[in-house]
Amino acid sequence: MPWNTRDAMSLKQEFVYLARQPDINIRDLCRRFGISPQTGYKWLKRYEAHGEAGLQDRSRRPRNSPKQTQARLAAEVVAVREEHPAWGGRKISRVLDKRIAPSTVTNVLHRHDLITPQASEAARQWTRFEHAAPNDLWQMDFKGDFQTLQGRCYPLTVIDDHSRFNLVIQGCACQRGALVQEHLSEVFRRYGLPARINTDNGSPWGAPRHPGELTPLGVWLVTLGIRLSFSRPGHPQTNGKDERFHRSLKAEVLKGRIYRSLEEAQSAFDHWREIYNFLRPHDALDLEVPISRYQVSSHAFPERLPQIEYGPDDILVKPYDSQFRFKKRSFRIAKALGGHIVALRPSTKGDGLFDVYFGHQKVRTIDFNNPDGKG
């Protein structure tokens, strides 16, 4: 499971940051992290008294000295850049507590031949719309795949749209929906449920031949009460924050590296995830870090799936074998909905048109006058 590979100290740090958010239920957060309230309050008390040192965390920030010479400060710039080759002037300046201006950082990097045209392109700032609150929208995708010495790795990533907080980077041996569901269950237990998840139309959450059609994974997510949306075919920018996250993951973790196994790759993912969420300043957040804007969801993950309920005026049908019957006519529907109850509601767009819903999710519109199934 994703959490078994995580460093215990990074989990302490994540717990403390989330526990210090306004209006947080500490006991509920302890339950999500699998610790007792006594342990949680002990960590918080130590953090309040001694900061991160109280959690025995090894800070990766360069040491601070107000009397250091310009040469020593330039050496710090070079050290940060060598540790994080994709970071530019603004990020390095922020990590160094603004003791050196971003433009001066850039000059230092140029003097040491640490800026390439490729690095300049990777540092190009993207400006995008963001949702108003954490967990309003999560973006989810696989970061392609790459070869380890023991097999292929498919990194599963989930990003919170508002905060850019990364909820998981999980190295998977395949892209099967059942495996994704297993990992998402762990994410939901830890962080709660989002209002909506956006994905592309690829497998296992989408249906490339029928964009927007529910798959078994989609049926499970809708049953949990999560709204699903899908990027328009050929427009990956709809999932732009996760795509941008993938660019950073590639530049800072994958580029030029060969991993022996999934386990070694996962260790690198976990280490970088801590840097990304807690240390790496984010341009779109005014150089704050994602954890500073993230809060866990108040909608807890139910261990038993809730029953979907429909309104008294809904027309209820049960599809079988990718079709359902309505007034002696047949209509096509996603195979994953076979055996589930769906609801038909008269559409406002014309006579004979009916919108088909699975729970809250509209899955298609049918034309009673032009059935598309076999009679």
Instruction: Indicate the pLDDT class of residue 370, thresholds 50, 70 and 90.
Output: confident
Per-residue confidence (pLDDT) for residue 275, from 0 to 100: 92
Supply the pTM of this predicted model: 0.75
Taking only the tens place, the pLDDT of each residue in 33-65 is 888 988 889 989 988 888 887 777 445 454 554
Select the CATH number that applies to the domain covering 138-293 from these four: 3.40.50.720, 3.30.420.10, 3.40.1160.10, 3.30.565.10.
3.30.420.10
Per-residue confidence (pLDDT) for residue 129, from 0 to 100: 59
Taking only the tens place, the pLDDT of each residue in 141-167 is 998 899 999 999 999 999 999 999 999
Q: Is the pLDDT of residue 236 over 70?
A: no
Q: How far is CA 61 from the centre of its chain?
A: 25
132 or 344, higher pLDDT: 344
Q: Could you write out the three-class secondary structure of the chain?
A: CHHHHCCHHHHHHHHHHHHCCCCCCHHHHHHHHCCCHHHHHHHHHHHHHHHHHHHCCCCCCCCCCCCCCHHHHHHHHHHHHHHCCCCCHHHHHHHCCCCCCHHHHHHHHHHCCCCCHHHHHHCCCCCCCCCCCCCCCEEEEECCCEEECCEEEEEEEEEECCCCCEEEEEEECCCCHHHHHHHHHHHHHHHCCCCEEEECCCCCCCCCCCCCCCCHHHHHHHHCCCEEEECCCCCHHHHHHHHHHHHHHHHHHHCCCCCCCHHHHHHHHHHHHHHHHHHCCEHHHCCECHHHHCCCCCCCCCCCCCCCCCCCCCEEECCECCEEEECCEEEECCHHHCCCCEEEEECCCCCCEEEEEECCEEEEEEECCCCCCCC
Q: Is the pLDDT of residue 242 over 60?
A: yes
Per-residue confidence (pLDDT) for residue 64, from 0 to 100: 53
Per-residue confidence (pLDDT) for residue 185, from 0 to 100: 96
Instruction: Indicate the pLDDT class of residue 116, thresholds 50, 70 and 90.
Output: low
Distance CA 158, CA 371 (A): 39
Q: Is the pLDDT of residue 234 over 60?
A: no
Distance CA 104, CA 93 (A): 9
Instruction: Indicate the pLDDT class of residue 76, thresholds 50, 70 and 90.
Output: confident
Percent of the chain with pLDDT over 70: 87
Instruction: Indicate the pLDDT class of residue 75, thresholds 50, 70 and 90.
Output: confident
Mean pLDDT of the chain: 84
Query: Where in the chain are the domains?
Result: 2-55, 70-122, 138-293, 315-367
Per-residue confidence (pLDDT) for residue 1, from 0 to 100: 39
Kindly state the tokens that stand for 270.
């976990």
Taking only the tens place, the pLDDT of each residue in 171-217 is 999 999 999 999 999 999 999 999 999 998 888 887 767 777 899 99
Per-residue confidence (pLDDT) for residue 374, from 0 to 100: 45
Per-residue confidence (pLDDT) for residue 181, from 0 to 100: 96
Kindly state the tokens that stand for 186.
């762990």
Percent of the chain with pLDDT over 90: 46
Taking only the tens place, the pLDDT of each residue in 278-306 is 998 888 788 899 999 999 999 999 989 99
For helices 26-33 and 37-50, give the axis angle rounded to 10 degrees.
110
Per-residue confidence (pLDDT) for residue 130, from 0 to 100: 65
Instruction: Indicate the pLDDT class of residue 266, thresholds 50, 70 and 90.
Output: very high
Per-residue confidence (pLDDT) for residue 61, from 0 to 100: 52
Q: Which residues contact 12 (CB under 8 A, 6 or more apart)?
A: 43, 55, 57
Per-residue confidence (pLDDT) for residue 375, from 0 to 100: 36
Q: Is the pLDDT of residue 120 over 70?
A: no
Q: Is the pLDDT of residue 70 over 70?
A: yes
Per-residue confidence (pLDDT) for residue 127, from 0 to 100: 43
